[in-house]
Amino acid sequence: MSLLTVDELTVTFTQRGKPDVRAVDGVSFTVDQGEVVGLVGESGCGKSVTSLALMRLLSGRNVKIGGSVVFDGIELLKLRSEEMRDLRGSQLAMIFQDPLSSLNPVVPIGVQVTEILTRHRKLRGEAARKEAAVLLEKVGIPDPTRRLREYPHQMSGGMRQRALIAMAVACAPRLLIADEPTTALDVTIQAQILELLKELVDSQGTALLMITHDLGVVAGLCDDINVLYAGKVVEAAARRPLFAAPTHPYSVGLLNSIPRLDAPRGEPLKPIRGSVNDNIAWADGCAFAPRCDHYTIECLQGPPALTEALTGHRYRCVNPVTTHEPPAVIATEDGR
């Protein structure tokens, strides 16, 4: 059985006097024990809202969440909020995009790390401080005892993200959700952070849900990939089939829009035309149709169904891409 099963998750934002906004529209996917799953899509496609919803961090009267999220046999959406709070940090943890604003600026790093240890592992005083130093060491922060006394603004961006990762893995959670963990960092640090995440996931057997818009990150890290568009999963496949034979025109467009080193000099980039604003409602047809090169009149005959092609390779398209140019070569870090 899967560790996390998300089934038909919908998130709707309501506002008086305005039409409802359905940010996540029936998203389903699973994450197995120790597996790395990617959630990919451009800005505004519902990636972050999905992750916040399944952590139960979307609160307020104007948010409606439907569907089901089962973690280790427990239905998270029906849990009492205090029970959910006990699970967060100990069983499920999350890393955010901006490491500077995710740390409290007036509290030393050490206090913020020991706080988690006290909360979930009942460690106090010297024991908590020692464990915090061990954690910082583990995520590759040199001179951890000194760093524990420092404030977030005294650390570099990469160091802060490492500290946040240390806090997230402090209680060896079974699922780690990383919401664009490398977006705010520069490229060399990005690689280091991804390497660190991979190591931690391998050594602790933690499952990782990687949320990103960066296909390079996905290529190097993820076992399974879900491509999101306008709140729906439009293509889901294992890494190799997705990169070798993307089926949904949107996935194809994403892959083609990556600048290629082997392209002839001066060749223009190939963006996906239009923007998310051109979308039509899913009820009327394929939301991507106005931007799609394979668009036909059938695309407007109601919402396209999810088709399962090969084992596990699913796509939501009536005119799937079948003939392929040689697929974009993205070097995977381990060469697989």
Partner 1 sequence: MTTKTDKIDRLAELTAARAEPEHGLGLWREAFRRLKRNPMAVSGAVIVLLFLVIAILAPWLAPYDPEARTWDHEVFQNQNIFVGPRAENWLGLDNAGRDELSRIIVGARQSLLVGVVATGLGFAVGALLGGLAGAAVGLGGRVGQRVDAVIMRVVDMLLAMPSLLLAVSVAAILGPSLLTVMVAVGVTQVPIFARLLRGSMLAQSHSDYVLAANALGVKRRRIVLGHIVPNSLGPVLVQGTLSLATAIIEAAALSYLGLGNPDTSYPEWGSMLADAQRFLSGAPQLAIYPAIVIIITALGFTLLGEAMRESLDPKLRK
- Residues within the interface to partner 1 (CB under 8 A): 55, 57, 59, 85-90, 93-94, 96, 98, 101-108, 111, 115-116, 119-120, 146, 149-151, 154, 164, 167-168
Which secondary structure element, helix H or strand E, spans residue 179, and what is its range?
strand 175-179
Name the region of 64 (left: φ>0; alpha: ψ -120 to 50; beta: rest).
beta
CA atoms of 254 and 334, how far apart (whole Å): 22
The CB-of-181 to partner 1 minimum distance in angstroms stands at: 12
Residue carrying structure tokens 């499920």: 92
Determine the distance from the C-alpha atom of residue 248 to the mean position of all C-alpha atoms in its chain, rounded to a whole number.
20
Contact 307, 320 (CB under 8 A): yes
The CB-of-94 to partner 1 minimum distance in angstroms stands at: 4
The CB-of-224 to partner 1 minimum distance in angstroms stands at: 23
Neighbours of 37 (CB within 10 A): 24
CA atoms of 307 and 292, how far apart (whole Å): 18
The CB-of-112 to partner 1 minimum distance in angstroms stands at: 8
Which CB, 193 or 321, lies closer to partner 1? 193
Which CB, 96 or 243, lies closer to partner 1? 96
Which CB, 174 or 232, lies closer to partner 1? 174
Hey, is 131 helix, strand or coil? helix
CA atoms of 162 and 158, how far apart (whole Å): 6
Contact 175, 4 (CB under 8 A): yes
Contact 232, 286 (CB under 8 A): no
Which CB, 164 or 318, lies closer to partner 1? 164
Which CB, 164 or 219, lies closer to partner 1? 164
Which CB, 26 or 108, lies closer to partner 1? 108
The CB-of-230 to partner 1 minimum distance in angstroms stands at: 25
Determine the distance from the C-alpha atom of residue 139 to the mean position of all C-alpha atoms in its chain, rounded to a whole number.
20
Beta strand segments in the chain, E:
4-15, 18-31, 36-40, 63-71, 74-75, 92-95, 175-179, 207-212, 224-229, 232-238, 307-308, 314-315
The CB-of-264 to partner 1 minimum distance in angstroms stands at: 43
Tokens of 30: 């699973």
Which CB, 37 or 94, lies closer to partner 1? 94
The CB-of-55 to partner 1 minimum distance in angstroms stands at: 6
